[in-house]
Structure 1
Amino acid sequence: MKAVRQAVIDIGSNTVRLVVYAGLPRAPLPIYNEKSRVKLGACLAGDGIIDKATMKKALAALARFETLARAMKVDTMRVVATAATREAKNGHELVEKAAALGIHVEVLDGDAEATAAGFGILSDNPHANGYVGDLGGGSLELIRISDGKLGTRVSLPLGTLRHDILKGKTTKQITQMLRDDIAKAMGKAGFPIETGLPFYMIGGSWRTFARLHMHHSGYPLTILSNYEMPADAPEMMMAMVNDKDALTRSNVVATGRISALPGANALLAGISGLLKPSKLVTSIYGLREGLLFEQLTPAERQDDPLIAAARFEGERLGRFPFHGDALAQWIAPVFAGQSPNDARLCRAACLLSDSVWNVNPEYRADHALDLALDGSWPGVNASDRAVIAAALWTVHAGKRTLPEMLTALATPGALAQAVIWGLAIRLAHRLDGGTGGALADSRIDGDGTTLRLHLTGSAVRLQSNSVQRRLQALGEALGYAQAEILG
């Protein structure tokens, strides 16, 4: 899969936004993100007409963003408009005036918007099984997803700009309103409800709520991607969300989001009452990423986005001809029988293990830790990040004692396993200097009491005391009484 540069301009109800992505199509990495707060959707609460000043502002933003994208030499660019444009009485004027500027705007209908949102979640979590909610300024889309496919979906006129209708309503009343609106749009049996499944949240207001929950619970990271909350979090946080002074004092809620947060939280509580989800999962992926995902072939959609992203970054940042996959295969015999998710996290660590060589040696372990914890990695939760971080920390620190923050994110057993991955990778790096040149002429295995490193061909000449020490460290971590080099 070849690296490409792609742009999406999203004309939403609150903002017009440009995002430019680079990297592999299966794991696009945002490299530029800019928005203009136009508020096209304000008309939806009034006469339904976009006024001249707002129209002018929207067109100016479009002209700027299209020019920027061209200057960034994107391979593809897609410009889409959602609820505000399609529902405004003069939305067609925006499309026509954009066309006069040489900008083609696609107006997505409710189903297309819901489809893109669902695909956005699947681009990040291809095996997700649950419901997706995409809360924009003009509409709320609900989508059932499972086994990498989209199921039933519905678009409702319940965007943040329309939340005045929620004021004074209890959670039970909002839940009933959702039932009624869904029945009106699709019929009573049109949108099957299955309880006990995850609910994936898309939208700036819900991401703000998740950020507030992080702050309130003392969560050690600020990474919103796949941040999980209990289903009753909206009810538990209701008092704080409705306290403007408390929100201001928190220093985690942007001033522009404070007014929209109570309605977004009330709606989320109502959805929890409707779906009774097992958990709430925050997503930084959504409509824009879903539009890119739609363009992939069925085979490309099946690729693991984490592995694609780690492979791309590992090859870009490594010192020598890339061999991260070969390294993963080399250490695999030592960890036979591990779960599929453990195997993918181990592979990701292998792919990234040579990515901080240009950092001062005293700080490589810290930078490797940050790379795993803070990187824009798709398809991982906080525990997964911590596990990869533990492996990379061990590769570069050579210590089995991990930074304390990792223990707050993953279980002791998962971290202990990751440390052993790190020791195995560390051994391979020392054996051939990180070049991968000895992997074909060497292998590691054990017989119950002794861990052995077998060397053949030119790899026989690579024996050293430091290689023996690293083999010994790995053997001890695996519980072997002895470790020896044969060759």
Structure 2
Amino acid sequence: MTQPSATADATDGATATPTANDRLAAIDIGSNSVRIVVARAVDGGYQVLDEERENTRLAASLAATGHLCPDTMAATIAALRSFVTMAQGYNVANIRAIATSAVRDAANGREFCQRIQEELGLKVDIIPPREEGRLSFLSVARAFDVSDKAVAVADIGGGSTEIVLAAGGVVEEVYATRLGAVRVAEACGLTGVCTAKQIDGAERHIDDVLRRHARKPPLAPAMVYGAGGTFTALAWMMLGREGAGEDATARGYRVNRADLNHLIADLARMTLEERSKVSGLNPKRADIIVAGLMVIDRILKHFGVNEVQVHTGGVRDGLLLTMVESSKTSGRALTATERQEAVERFAERCGTDLPHARQVAWMASKLLEELATQLEPSLGLRVSDKPLIEAAAVLSNVGYLVNYDGHHKHSYHLIINSDLPGFERDDLRVVANVARYHRGSRPKQKHKPFAALGVEDQERVAKLAAILRLALALDRTHQQQVNDVAVKVTKSTVEIAIRATGDAEVDLWAARRKVDLFERVFGRSVEFVVTP
């Protein structure tokens, strides 16, 4: 059995002869290793042309000093220099480098990135944990069918572990934990022969971190997918135990908790020298493998899942997919139509009733426009916010994908993790919060996502959510009976006149019950009238 290098889940294209403008390169600067994948864009995906990795242990001194040390920085720059040369050899048109936990956490991380740019001309983006998890999920969703079930994706690096919860192929939550294999190995003394006391202490430590930083979903995931070197090492070691042949593959390999725990127990008793000889395990990973496998085991226990399925791709693959998607627009801004189409595609993936959603979006937009032109400017209502309220209207019920109870909160999480094209991050936060407050409690400072907004955006959210509640109620029956809405504002009232094609009494009844937030934020009572 030959253990291959970690590869993307894409066709080997080393013999391809791509044109220069479709060649891409993704570089991932991690805590344990630095990697590059060179590929070409093809049919909405990519084809791997070449790849390489170097174990530079960039985070080796981070826990003790809080800084990246000169030796590991030099080794990483040397690896990057050869990667840049490789990319130039393929005449790559688009190269992107990202750094994760080690650089993110180091006091001299940004200084290190500046040095890379000065010496190599390579810009390095330090990505947040949420983006790291999202990229891993993109890679998993490309390789496995996750469209019809709730799943968790765990990406174990050297310094951190990102856990993604998704339902129906849509990300709901991303958790970042300081449970990287290197970090846990050093913190819990798991680098050499491990005592029972050390194992127990590590279990308590990992369980405590998961309990504090990874909320359990309403229902246990149907499967946990694992990305990163620890998972591929697990698969190869299990295949080695089975005596698998040359055609064996780690991709999609499944391991249950019982077999995982047997492996952990065996490895924990070994010296580093003994571990380095284990079939399927890269000797350079021998000192951190017990810690990494323990993180896998405790994640499975935490989420109530008995089995993990190994994914041989990860962050780099998700990055390449993002680069391919971005290349379709050639860097231009999306048109309003393209942006709305993206919103509707996302809503449709979540099972949204699109005719109802479009009706609500139209009414919310019309109400906003008429209110903004009639209310005093000091109230700060802006016609330019129409795209935001329209998006919030279409996406307000996407949370049903996760669970009916508290679906408005699930809608917030799905939207904020969606990376919808055409929306700046601040605007997406507004959209997500407006959708979150389409029902239930009014916006409050004790709600962390709302409190994190600036004062102006908090006021926007409250006003837009108040309007959205009325628009949603005016199609309570999902029959799209209202075909026009008109607003008349006085000093003390807002009169909303509706025209309907049929009996809209149920819709009006619902709307009259949803005026409380509107009356609170606009300081006027609401009256509904029906016009012929």
Query: Once the 2 structures are TM-superposed, how far is the Cα of residue 265 of structure 1 from its aligned partner?
Result: 1.6
Q: Among 167, 186, 197, which residue is 2:222 paired with?
A: 197
The farther-off stretch of 224-233 and 239-248 is 239-248
Q: Distance in 2 between matches of 1:224 and 1:150?
A: 25
1:103 counterpart = 2:103: no
Equivalent position SS for 1:195? coil
1:64 counterpart = 2:89: no
Q: Distance in 1 between matches of 2:228 and 2:263?
A: 18
Q: Among 256, 280, 284, which residue is 2:308 paired with?
A: 280
Equivalent position SS for 2:257? coil
Equivalent position SS for 2:313? coil
1:188-221 per-position Cα deviation (integer Å, ceiling 9, x unaligned)? xx45263352111111122111111112134454
Following superposition of structure 1 onto structure 2, how do residues 349-428 of structure 1 map, counting pairs within 5 Å? none
Query: Once the 2 structures are TM-superposed, how far is the Cα of residue 294 of structure 1 from its aligned partner?
Result: 2.9
Query: Once the 2 structures are TM-superposed, how far is the Cα of residue 182 of structure 1 from its aligned partner?
Result: 3.9
- The 1:193–1:133 alpha-carbon spacing in structure 2 relative to 1, beyond 3 Å, is farther
Q: Distance in 2 between matches of 1:35 and 1:27?
A: 22
Q: Among 130, 144, 160, which residue is 2:165 paired with?
A: 144
Q: In the alignment, is the contact (CA less than 8 A) between 2:34 and 2:55 conserved in 1?
A: yes
1:395-421 per-position Cα deviation (integer Å, ceiling 9, x unaligned)? xxxxxxxxxxxxxxxxxxxxxxxxxxx
The farther-off stretch of 219-228 and 110-119 is 219-228
Q: Distance in 2 between matches of 1:121 and 1:169?
A: 36
Aligned twin of 2:468: none
Q: Distance in 2 between matches of 1:40 and 1:193?
A: 38
Aligned twin of 1:14: 32
Query: Once the 2 structures are TM-superposed, how far is the Cα of residue 25 of structure 1 from its aligned partner?
Result: 5.5
- The 1:213–1:138 alpha-carbon spacing in structure 2 relative to 1, beyond 3 Å, is same
Aligned twin of 1:417: none
Aligned twin of 1:238: 264
Q: Distance in 2 between matches of 1:126 and 1:77?
A: 29
Equivalent position SS for 2:294? helix
Q: Distance in 2 between matches of 1:232 and 1:200?
A: 17
Q: Distance in 2 between matches of 1:161 and 1:250?
A: 19
Aligned twin of 1:180: 208
1:112 counterpart = 2:131: yes
Q: Among 181, 187, 193, which residue is 1:165 paired with?
A: 187
Q: Distance in 2 between matches of 1:72 and 1:300?
A: 35
Q: Distance in 2 between matches of 1:272 and 1:42?
A: 27
Q: In the alignment, is the contact (CA less than 8 A) between 1:59 and 1:94 conserved in 2?
A: no
Aligned twin of 1:122: 141
Q: In the alignment, is the contact (CA less than 8 A) between 1:171 and 1:270 conserved in 2?
A: no
Q: Which amino acid aligns with 1:232?
A: A
Aligned twin of 1:485: none
- The 1:59–1:247 alpha-carbon spacing in structure 2 relative to 1, beyond 3 Å, is closer
Q: Which amino acid aligns with 1:44?
A: L
- The 1:150–1:248 alpha-carbon spacing in structure 2 relative to 1, beyond 3 Å, is same
Query: Once the 2 structures are TM-superposed, how far is the Cα of residue 126 of structure 1 from its aligned partner?
Result: 4.4
1:133 counterpart = 2:154: yes
Equivalent position SS for 1:123? helix
- The 1:225–1:193 alpha-carbon spacing in structure 2 relative to 1, beyond 3 Å, is farther
Q: Distance in 1 between matches of 2:54 and 2:239?
A: 27
Query: Once the 2 structures are TM-superposed, how far is the Cα of residue 31 of structure 1 from its aligned partner?
Result: 2.3
Equivalent position SS for 2:66? coil
Q: Which amino acid aligns with 1:202?
A: A
Q: In the alignment, is the contact (CA less than 8 A) between 1:44 and 1:84 conserved in 2?
A: yes
1:220-265 per-position Cα deviation (integer Å, ceiling 9, x unaligned)? 5421111112233211222322234664554322211222111112
Tell me how many residue pairs correspond in the alignment: 297
Aligned twin of 2:108: 90
- The 1:276–1:170 alpha-carbon spacing in structure 2 relative to 1, beyond 3 Å, is farther
The farther-off stretch of 77-86 and 156-165 is 156-165
Q: Among 204, 212, 237, which residue is 1:212 paired with?
A: 237
Query: Once the 2 structures are TM-superposed, how far is the Cα of residue 116 of structure 1 from its aligned partner?
Result: 1.1
Equivalent position SS for 1:134? strand
Equivalent position SS for 2:317? helix
1:423-478 per-position Cα deviation (integer Å, ceiling 9, x unaligned)? xxxxxxxxxxxxxxxxxxxxxxxxxxxxxxxxxxxxxxxxxxxxxxxxxxxxxxxx
Equivalent position SS for 1:238? helix
Q: In the alignment, is the contact (CA less than 8 A) between 2:256 and 2:306 conserved in 1?
A: yes
Q: In the alignment, is the contact (CA less than 8 A) between 1:5 and 1:74 conserved in 2?
A: yes
Aligned twin of 2:55: 37
Aligned twin of 2:484: none
Following superposition of structure 1 onto structure 2, how do residues 306-345 of structure 1 map, counting pairs within 5 Å? none
Q: Distance in 2 between matches of 1:193 and 1:287?
A: 27
- The 1:211–1:113 alpha-carbon spacing in structure 2 relative to 1, beyond 3 Å, is same
Q: In the alignment, is the contact (CA less than 8 A) between 1:5 and 1:21 conserved in 2?
A: yes
1:225 counterpart = 2:251: yes
TM-score by length of 2: 0.51
Q: Distance in 2 between matches of 1:251 and 1:182?
A: 31
Q: Distance in 2 between matches of 1:179 and 1:236?
A: 19
Q: Distance in 2 between matches of 1:47 and 1:290?
A: 32
% same residue: 23
Q: Distance in 2 between matches of 1:256 and 1:87?
A: 23
Q: Distance in 1 between matches of 2:311 and 2:40?
A: 20
Query: Once the 2 structures are TM-superposed, how far is the Cα of residue 78 of structure 1 from its aligned partner?
Result: 0.9
Return 5+ residue gaps in structure 2 as ranges.
1-17, 191-195, 329-341, 347-532
Equivalent position SS for 2:38? strand
Aligned twin of 1:266: 294
Query: Once the 2 structures are TM-superposed, how far is the Cα of residue 86 of structure 1 from its aligned partner?
Result: 0.8
TM-score by length of 1: 0.56
Query: Once the 2 structures are TM-superposed, how far is the Cα of residue 36 of structure 1 from its aligned partner?
Result: 2.2
Q: Which amino acid aligns with 1:274?
A: H
Q: In the alignment, is the contact (CA less than 8 A) between 2:228 and 2:313 conserved in 1?
A: no
- The 1:26–1:172 alpha-carbon spacing in structure 2 relative to 1, beyond 3 Å, is farther
Q: In the alignment, is the contact (CA less than 8 A) between 2:241 and 2:279 conserved in 1?
A: no
Aligned twin of 1:344: none
